[in-house]
Structure formats: C-alpha cells, structure tokens
C-alpha cells in the first residue's frame, strides 16, 4: 500500500514534521506573542492531517509526535509551556 517507503518511516517523518510545526507555532504564540504567525504555521499542519486521514495513520502519527513534543495542551487557558525549550528555535 505504501510503495517504496515503509509505513514506519512515513509515520516517523510525518510525526517529526508535525511536532516541529507545532513547536514553531507555540514559539510564535508564547515567546513572540504573535497569534497571526502561530496560526499561519498551524495552517501548514492541515496537509499532514489530510494525508494521514486518507492513509489511515493519524493515530500513529500523533502518538509519535507527542513523544517528540507534547502539544496536547497548547493554546488552552492557563497552559504554561517550557519557554526555555521553545526559545531554542
């Protein structure tokens, strides 16, 4: 079904990209206080989500992405991210 690339490699690649983009969005939101740029970065996640849904690997991608960067609470009221981690970007 996945052709030349293994399913595991595809999930890993998508998870890394998803975690990276979410970390970038959090950087803009929490460090730079720029909601517009944060939203702009988050828009680029839609492509990953759509493809993951079509391939039926959404859960696996998100499970792996959360291990790289746990963004489950990003944007929620009273959430305090690790600002040192975000400022390294």
Span 21-33, pLDDT tens digits: 999 999 999 999 9
Query: Could you tell me the two tokens for 57?
Result: 């690997």
Residues of the chain with pLDDT under 70: 1-3, 89
Q: What is the pLDDT of residue 38?
A: 96
Q: Which residues, including other chains, have CB under 8 Å from residue 66's CB and lie 6 or more apart?
A: 19, 72
Q: Are 55 and 17 in contact (CB under 8 A)?
A: no
* C-alpha to C-alpha distance for 27 and 20, rounded to whole angstroms: 10
Question: What pTM was computed for the model?
Answer: 0.87
Which pLDDT belongs to residue 3?
62
């Amino acid at each position: 079904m996945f052709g030349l690339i293994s399913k595991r490699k595809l999930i890993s690649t998508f998870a890394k990209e998803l975690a990276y983009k979410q970390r970038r969005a959090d950087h803009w939101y929490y460090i730079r206080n720029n909601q517009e740029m944060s939203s702009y970065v988050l828009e680029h996640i839609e492509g990953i989500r759509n493809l993951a849904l079509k391939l039926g690997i959404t859960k696996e991608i998100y499970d792996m992405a959360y291990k790289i960067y746990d963004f489950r609470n990003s944007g929620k009221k009273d959430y305090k991210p690790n600002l040192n981690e975000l400022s390294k970007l």
